[in-house]
Amino acid sequence: MKRILWTISSALALLGVAAALLVTLNLRGEEPLPATETLHSTPELVQRGEYLARVGNCMACHTMQGGAQFAGGRGIDTPFGVVHTSNLTPDKAHGIGSWTSAEFWRAMHHGRSKDGRLLYPAFPYTNYTQVTREDSDAIFAYLQSLPAVAESNRAHALRFPYSTQAALGVWRALFFTPGAPQSEPAQTAEYNRGAYLVNGLGHCTACHTPRNALGATTDAKAFTGGLIPVQNWYAPALNAATEAGVKEWKTQDVVALLKTGVAPHGSVLGPMAEVVFRSTQYLTDADASAMAAYLQALPQQVRKAPAAVVAPPSSAMARGGKVYEQHCAQCHGDQGQGESGAFPALTGNRAITLADPTNLVRVVLQGGYLPATAGNPYPHGMPPFQQFLSDEEVAAVTTFVRNSWGNQAPGVGTIEVYRARERRGL
């Protein structure tokens, strides 16, 4: 009996130590909140906050389709269930009207809500932790200047145990450490500004970095590309010339891509089109150039030489060629040459030959739409073909364009088309 009691007491003691350690890790770096608000808002601070909120693309997540701006309610699908975004308007009952700037800073920097709850990292505080207090205060001042919207927050729909604060606490203990922007003395001020924007408010690694089974990213794999769990598009590597790397581009072309969505060597579609539309087109020229400088300086991946591509069956190429001639050639040209300023060339297009064909398949199914921007207000678009082409035809035509006019890439099977349809319920 004594042995049993000793075992139980030892187990309880270990649990107590583990719980204490978990609490300590989740409180690291936090300071007591001031009792009263200390921020003095000015029109200049509000204006700066509006700009920074655009850089962070806050409205995209915190606005439901057809809903009031920043009133929340948008459901974000994750591998663990649905997270609903919160109301950021200054409504005192449902929004952040009763918050202080220090409480808002704690949410940005530590991922903790006003009432002390741990926040889910669908809100990218793992990146926002690098945002300065001054910029956090400016964003808060802007949000407080918005019209209050009495829109209740929706409960998350996460599976057990991911729905528990205990599980979230363990995740944070393993994968989250509060940070701060780190300047590199050997780099230029422009580079350091770009690093701050890309890694902080821009939260580019949130999409362009692969995630592990628990949804966490690691610095070691930053910018190496991965499937976006929210939208289920592939975000190509930003440090590889074969994917979305821009190291060899002219800086003005990178700036053009960020601000207009089009550049001589590429254009944006899918989730990145929304980012350009809602966020990066509003960058100042200086900030866009800074982001370009940082992205061009990223250390490039060392990749193994690609294995020889097995030529797809002639039957698939023949069938794909017929589909291409009927539906695609009128815009993209008989030889995939495209039309400058209107329709992108398919020959030599690295977006066509990505190892993961998800994006190409989804563009064929859903269509491809460039963002309307001040620098490109009337962009051309590609219509969806999901209602006209079977899975076999989509597989054939994507295989055809990936292996014609000098392109070489693995063929696409019907199972990959099916998965692309399934991800969006098409």
pLDDT at 315 over 50: yes
CA distance linking residue 208 with residue 211, whole number of Å:
10
CA distance linking residue 27 with residue 310, whole number of Å:
54
Widest pairwise Cα distance in the chain: 85
- Residue 407's identity, in one-letter code, is N
pLDDT at 141 over 90: yes
CB 203 within 8 A of CB 128: yes
Question: From its phi and psi, is residue 183 left (phi > 0), alpha (psi between -120 and 50) or beta?
Answer: beta
CA distance linking residue 334 with residue 325, whole number of Å:
7
Decide the pairing of beta strands 226-227 and 381-382.
Answer: unpaired
Question: For position 334, what pLDDT does the model report?
Answer: 95
Question: For position 232, what pLDDT does the model report?
Answer: 75
CA distance linking residue 282 with residue 253, whole number of Å:
16
Helix (H, G, I), strand (E, B) or coil at 58: helix
Q: Nearest Cα to 39, choosing from 30, 26, 28, 48?
A: 48
- Percent of the chain exceeding pLDDT 70 equals 91
Q: Categorize the per-residue pLDDT at 425 as very low, low, confident or very high, splitting at 50, 70 and 90.
A: very low
The secondary structure of 224-254 as a DSSP string is: S-EE-TTT--EE--TT-TTTT--TTS-HHHH
CA distance linking residue 168 with residue 156, whole number of Å:
13
Phi, psi of 79 (to 5 degrees): -65, -10
- Residue 95's identity, in one-letter code, is G
Annotate 130-139 with b (16+ C-beta within 10 A) or e (fewer): bbeeebbbbb
Instruction: Quote the distance between the C-alpha of residue 100 and its chain's center.
Output: 28
Residue 97's Cβ-count burial label (10 Å; 0-12, 13-18, 19+) is middle
Averaged pLDDT, 276-287: 97
Give pLDDT tens digits for 352-397: 999 999 999 999 999 999 999 999 999 999 999 999 999 999 999 9
Question: For position 187, what pLDDT does the model report?
Answer: 96
CA distance linking residue 337 with residue 355, whole number of Å:
22
Helix (H, G, I), strand (E, B) or coil at 24: helix
Structure tokens, 173 = 């203990």
Task: Say how many CA atoms lie within 13 Å of 14 toward its Cβ.
Answer: 6
pLDDT at 30 over 80: no
CB 13 within 8 A of CB 105: no
Question: For position 420, what pLDDT does the model report?
Answer: 79
Q: Categorize the per-residue pLDDT at 21 as very low, low, confident or very high, splitting at 50, 70 and 90.
A: low
Q: Which domains are assigned to the chain?
A: 22-175 (no CATH), 189-296 (1.10.760), 314-424 (1.10.760.10)
Question: For position 36, what pLDDT does the model report?
Answer: 85
pLDDT at 163 over 80: yes
Give pLDDT tens digits for 106-116: 999 999 999 99
Give pLDDT tens digits for 239-263: 999 999 999 999 999 999 999 999 9
CA distance linking residue 3 with residue 178, whole number of Å:
43
Question: For position 35, what pLDDT does the model report?
Answer: 79
Q: Categorize the per-residue pLDDT at 320 as very low, low, confident or very high, splitting at 50, 70 and 90.
A: very high
Instruction: Kindly give, in sequence order, each residue whose CB lies less than 8 Å from that of residue 21, ignoring residues fewer than 6 positions away.
Output: 173
Runs of H (alpha helix) within 297-357: 314-327, 329-332
pLDDT at 160 over 90: yes
Q: Nearest Cα to 363, choosing from 373, 350, 351?
A: 351
Of 81-90, 171-180, 187-196, 231-240, the poorest mean pLDDT is in 231-240
- Unique residue bearing structure tokens 């006209």: 388
CA distance linking residue 58 with residue 89, whole number of Å:
12
Task: Look up residue 123 and give its DSSP letter.
Answer: S
DSSP run (H or E) holding 20: helix 2-27
Phi, psi of 188 (to 5 degrees): -75, 165
Question: For position 426, what pLDDT does the model report?
Answer: 45
Q: Categorize the per-residue pLDDT at 302 as very low, low, confident or very high, splitting at 50, 70 and 90.
A: confident
